[in-house]
Structure 1
Amino acid sequence: MKKIFLLVGPTLMIFIGLQVLESVIIAFLLFYSWLLAVPLLGAGVPWERFKTTSKAVILGIGSGLLFFLFIFGGLNWLHIYLLDIDQLRVLLLEWGFSGRGEIWLVLILLVANPLLEEVYWRGYIYEKLKMEGRAGYAILMTSAFYTLYHLLSVIPIFEGIYGMIAAVPVFIAGMFWGYIREKTGTITAAIIGHVLSDMGIIGVYWFIIR
């Protein structure tokens, strides 16, 4: 029961913030507070998981650039089919991502999001699941529940069924970062890759949507 609660907790925080309270700010506060507080109050993440090796850096940069090109390049090419830009601008305005909100969007995506998400999923939760089973089980479970709450944010952004399809790359990224976390023994590669991937999202916002 406790394990399920840890797995669905981040999704629950996003759901409460966006769907129940209808506030992106509250959703962010609940979500990132959860990602930060749970590992701190639990066993935490061993410091050796933060070690930096040349292999981890190369894998992180390589995967990050690949996902960056997929996100920015793909949406730059296909956004006229996948996105309703005018509707999306209204949605982002309602979410508070305008004016000073743009600065917070960049800081959240480049600092808070990749660090806290990777510490939680490929660090804290992965450690717990790995003790209960094989690495493949830990990779699959962390990727699946990491993807789950992304559905709540991508479905309103994309047209029709494309919102569901847009979650597939999130799952693939989670699987790959879980795999390289297992192979390198560190979450450094996943953090680096996640930062570069989020830069692709910022690029889409700044050059296509804004």
Structure 2
Amino acid sequence: MTSDKFIRQFAPLIPYLAVLVGLYIFSSAWLSILLYHAGIALALSVIRGWEPGKLPSKLTEWLVLLPVVAGSAAAGLVILTMWPVIKLVELSLSAELVALGLTGTVWTIFIFYYFTVNPILEEQFWRGYLGQNSLRPTLADVWFAGYHVLVLVRFARLPWVVASFLTLVAAAWFWRQLARRYGGLTFPILSHAAADAGIIGAVWLLARAAGA
């Protein structure tokens, strides 16, 4: 088995191991995301799978990108408006963030890291290295959505965890189609960044309202 085939076979497990070690063993959000990103960087470096990306060059492409980015950012509004019915009954969001080491300046840095570095690395990995040109959902789409479940179960009720999983499968499929249609990762990276910014922004607002 070549190194590329070996890495491709086991690469989808990287975020699962990172979350289990970071969140569930060491209760550290930073450790979890850094382990995940280190695994991605190592895998992509070994197989030389980095893709630089390029900005849209046509007006029609910008006319597609802008509403896509705006729609992706709206994920945060959904969380803000639905949070009372999404969250676990016993959950104290501010206490959970403190337990994961997300306080003060560390929390602020994490927020910016989450919606800048994270979408670049994830798209390089999931839609770049593990991406396929298929119009149908792929196993990689499911793997991508699945590791989020390990995080979501700490915050959301089961029906919303399931709904989020299905939404993430659809998002993974959609970002793959953007990469396929526009010949690169710029569109999915920007859309993903907008979604991450909306989500982490909503969490910040909710935690602030709760006194974090």
Task: Name the TM tier (shorter chain).
Answer: 0.7 to 0.9
* In the alignment, structure 1 residue 39 sits paired with structure 2 residue 44: yes
Aligned match for 2:55, one of 52, 57, 60 = 52
Name the structure 1 match of 2:134: 135
Alignment of 1:196-207 (within 5 A): 196-207=194-205
TM-score by length of 2: 0.83
For residues 74-108 of structure 1, the C-alpha deviation after alignment (integer angstroms, 9 at most, x for no partner) is 22222111125852221111111110122222222
Between the aligned partners of 1:78 and 1:65, the Cα distance in structure 2 is 19
Code of the residue aligned with 2:196 in structure 1: it is: D
Between the aligned partners of 1:25 and 1:76, the Cα distance in structure 2 is 24
Name the structure 2 match of 1:194: 192
Name the structure 2 match of 1:173: 171
Between the aligned partners of 2:104 and 2:194, the Cα distance in structure 1 is 24
**Cα deviation, residue 46, structure 1:** 4.5
Gap runs ≥5 in structure 1: none
Between the aligned partners of 1:156 and 1:111, the Cα distance in structure 2 is 24
* In the alignment, structure 1 residue 77 sits paired with structure 2 residue 76: no
For residues 98-126 of structure 1, the C-alpha deviation after alignment (integer angstroms, 9 at most, x for no partner) is 10122222222221111110111111222
Alignment of 1:1-210 (within 5 A): 2=6, 3-47=8-52, 50-53=53-56, 54=58, 57-69=62-74, 71-84=75-88, 87-126=92-131, 130=132, 135-136=134-135, 140-210=138-208
Name the SS for the 2:157 alignment partner: coil
Code of the residue aligned with 2:41 in structure 1: it is: L
Between the aligned partners of 1:60 and 1:16, the Cα distance in structure 2 is 36
For residues 152-177 of structure 1, the C-alpha deviation after alignment (integer angstroms, 9 at most, x for no partner) is 11111112332232222222111100
Identical columns (%): 20
Q: For residues 185 and 155 of structure 1, do their structure 2 counterparts lie closer, same or farther at Cα, with a shift above 3 Å needed?
A: same
For residues 188-208 of structure 1, the C-alpha deviation after alignment (integer angstroms, 9 at most, x for no partner) is 000110111111112212322
Q: Is the Cα contact below 8 Å between 1:60 and 1:190 reproduced in 2?
A: no
RMSD: 2.2
Code of the residue aligned with 1:74 in structure 2: it is: V
